[in-house]
């Protein structure tokens, strides 16, 4: 389980409560242009905790800056 999945899993909240919330993950690293990169995901009403974690993981993996 990735760190993202652990965070979402341990939050204990119903994923639907986050509907339309924008979740941001900021990665700080001197090797990145500008020193940081932000990855975002907007939660859908149909999302589950698992799908949120999966979509955040995909957003991170698909970010060319990271």
pLDDT in tens, 11-56: 445 555 667 889 899 999 999 899 999 999 999 888 888 998 999 9
CA distances from 51 to 3, 33, 35, 36, 37 (A): 14, 29, 29, 25, 22
CA 55 to chain centre: 7
* pLDDT value at residue 62: 94
pTM, entire model: 0.68
């Amino acid at each position: 389980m990735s760190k993202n999945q652990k965070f979402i899993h341990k939050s204990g909240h119903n994923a639907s409560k986050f509907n339309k919330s924008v979740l941001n993950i900021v990665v700080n690293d001197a090797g990145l242009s500008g020193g940081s990169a932000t990855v975002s995901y907007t939660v859908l009403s149909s999302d589950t905790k698992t799908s949120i974690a999966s979509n955040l993981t995909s957003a991170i993996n698909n970010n060319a800056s990271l």
